Amino acid sequence: MSIRSVTWSLFCLPSLVVAMASVANAQLPTGWRAHDWDRAEATVVTPGDAALPVPPPSDAVVLFDGKDLSQWCDNEGNPAKWIVKDDVMESVPGSGYVFTKQAFGDCQLHVEWSAPQKVEGSSQGRGNSGVFLMGLYEVQVLDSFENRTYADGHAASVYGQYPPLVNASRKPGEWQSYDIIFHRARFTADGDLLSPARLTVLHNQVLVQDNVESLGPTSWLQHYQYSNTPEQLPLSLQDHGNPVRYRNIWIRTLKENPRPLPTTPYRTDVIQLASSELDGYVGEYGNVRIGREGRHLTLNMGGRPMELIAHTPTNFSVRYTAITLQFEHDKDGKPVALDFMMAGDTSRMERKVDEPAAEIEQEEGMEEEDMEVEEDVEDEEDMDEDDEDDDMDDENNATR
Ligand code: MG
């Protein structure tokens, strides 16, 4: 090796290492190349007996009920060229994809399909079609019953990206179902990807895609990056040259913000009472107990004590649960009762006597007759408490 070549090597080595590293990193997040024949095919799982067709719920948009293709069109908006026969719609080879006239984003989709009973072709040429969410993300339809193909091209794969977790295919000619939960990709106002599209798929009631993040729009051979897309786009079904049949297709639009934040968030009017003041509240009220832990009161209802937040000297709430306590004080400022407010109901709870020494003195001074009356009253109170405890248990059980 000449000096020149050694020098050249030393000079170029760092850039070569960088180049090699970038090549090594140029792979999909899954670590697999699309359509890799070496990727293990999903294990076969025989699905249970299916009760098909599955009727649509009341809020579903029925996209095909066996009558006609009024909800569908071709890629130019013209009438779809697939055929409807015997209450099913069938892909006509060469007729092109069909698209819903209505656009959808986040959704729950139910599709029933059947590969041709007469087995023709092999691998990707056998019973191939596809369900394209937003026309972009294909959940593969394929006759995957005893049909060797690449793992990410099997039935219920997110095509070219994620093989199904298991192969739950039925025999060709039998009706199969997909239940798909789809969340669209989100983008910033500048069009940058905020969160990728996500898919959950049940194939014949077997989970085969568990909230996977799509790597981008699916494709044969290509890897497409995300680009900003509308919030809703038509759903499409693929014509891949095989007469695949479909029936009973319905879809539920999922709300963009299904769990809104409360309009009245956590209260901020919080005060801190001195420990000596807090101790004045400690005691039994009806069937709850007020305790103190450090610098806050607790509400004890039989389980773990719940932290109480003081809003005023009379008004407290449980930190994480929608329970409010409104205390009543006597003329000396001592809490003597509380209103327990939960789930739209208010229960008044009287404070029990919590001074045993005073009680003993009183009882010693009582006449025997008075003692008997008091015992009767205590028995009745015990029974009332038992009833209240039962009511509380029933309420707790009802709300679990
Ligand atoms: Mg396909």
In this predicted model, what pLDDT tens digit does every residue of 227-256 receive, in sequence order?
A: 999 999 999 999 999 999 999 999 999 998
Arithmetic mean of pLDDT, 114-121: 95
Quick check: is 394 in a domain?
no
% pLDDT > 70, the chain: 82
Total domains, the chain: 2
Band (pLDDT 50/70/90 cuts) for residue 355 is: low
pLDDT tens readout for residues 83-105: 999 999 999 999 999 999 999 99
Same domain, 89 and 200: yes
What is the CA(128)–ligand 1 centre distance, in A? 5
Tell me, in angstroms, the distance from the centre of ligand 1 to residue 59's CA. 29
CA 147 to centroid of ligand 1, rounded, Å: 14
State whether 207 and 284 are in the same domain: no
Same domain, 338 and 197: no
Grade residue 397 by pLDDT with cuts at 50, 70 and 90. Answer: very low
> Do 296 and 326 sit in the same domain of this protein?
yes
Q: Which of 123-132, 228-237, 324-333, 358-367 has the lowest mean pLDDT?
A: 358-367
Is 8 part of a structural domain of the chain?
yes
CA of 287 to the centre of ligand 1 (A): 64
Residues 37 and 181 placed together within one structural domain of the fold: yes
Distance 386 CA to ligand 1 centre (A): 66
pLDDT, mean of residues 12-30 = 55
Mean pLDDT of the chain: 87
On whether both 148 and 288 belong to a single domain, the answer is no
| Domain coverage including residue 31 | 3-253
For 262-317, the pLDDT digits (tens) are 888 788 999 999 999 999 999 999 999 999 999 999 999 999 999 999 999 999 99
The pLDDT-based confidence of 353 (bands split at 50, 70, 90) is confident
Asked whether residue 362 carries a pLDDT value surpassing 90, the answer given is: no
Whether residue 356 is contained in a domain is answered as no
How far, in Å, from the CA of 323 to the mean position of ligand 1?
A: 54
Higher pLDDT, 160 or 386: 160
Domain limit, last residue, from 314, 332, 350: 350
- Shared domain for 226 and 192, answered yes or no, is yes
CATH number, domain of 178, equals 2.60.120.560
pLDDT at 50 over 90: no
What is the dihedral sign for C-alpha 141, 145, 149, 154?
A: positive
The environment of the single-atom ion ligand 1, i.e. residues with CB closer than 5 A, is 128, 130, 140, 238, 240
Q: Check whether residue 156 and residue 115 sit in a common domain.
A: yes
